[in-house]
Amino acid sequence: MDVPLLEKLQSKFECNQCGQCCVVGGDMLLSHDDVLRIASDLNYDFDGFVDCYLERVPADPDYFLVRDVMPCAFLDKLHMRCQIQSCKPLACRDYPFVLYARGECNIDAVLTCPVAVKMLEDHLKGVE
């Protein structure tokens, strides 16, 4: 799949908040801006939020990894809903197609998402 197609698919992508991608693990990379935004929304100071939820990426101090990803620390496990939907990390906003285009997830991760699978099926059938 080429990048323009993946970007087109992402532009039409509508997450139904099923939570399936939030339980399978994988590296959840947050930028400094992600951390600022989410910490502010959850009423943490920056360092307090990092201490509670994240690990610093040793090679790049501007990036952080979510410590608990199976399931994600920000998933409401009872209702299977993201608790930070309105301020969630860019990686989650770009999942599945643009994240895949950037090489930040593999095709198995894309196929975890039922909405993405349906869109790909429709694309292959020429429906979309």
Which residues of the shown chain bind ligand SF4 in the complex (CB under 6 A)? 15-22, 72, 74-75, 82, 84, 88-89, 92, 95, 112-113, 115
Confirm if 97 and 6 have CB atoms less than 8 A apart.
yes
3-class state of residue 128 by DSSP: coil
C-beta of 5 vs 24, nearer to ligand SF4: 24
3-state secondary structure of 43: coil
Instruction: State in angstroms the smallest separation of the CB of 100 from ligand SF4.
Output: 12
Residues 6+ apart with CB under 8 A from 94: 10, 102, 104
Nearest distance, CB of residue 110 and ligand SF4, angstroms: 9
* 15 vs 65 by CB, closer to ligand SF4: 15
Q: How far is the CB of 113 from ligand SF4 (least distance, A)?
A: 3
Q: For residue 29, what are the contacts with CB-CB under 8 A and spacing of at least 6?
A: 57, 63, 64, 65, 89, 91, 104
Q: Which residues pair with 64 in a beta bridge?
A: 30, 56
For ligand SF4, the closer of residues 57 and 80 by Cβ is 80
* In the complex, minimum distance from the CB of residue 79 to ligand SF4, in angstroms, rounded to a whole number: 11
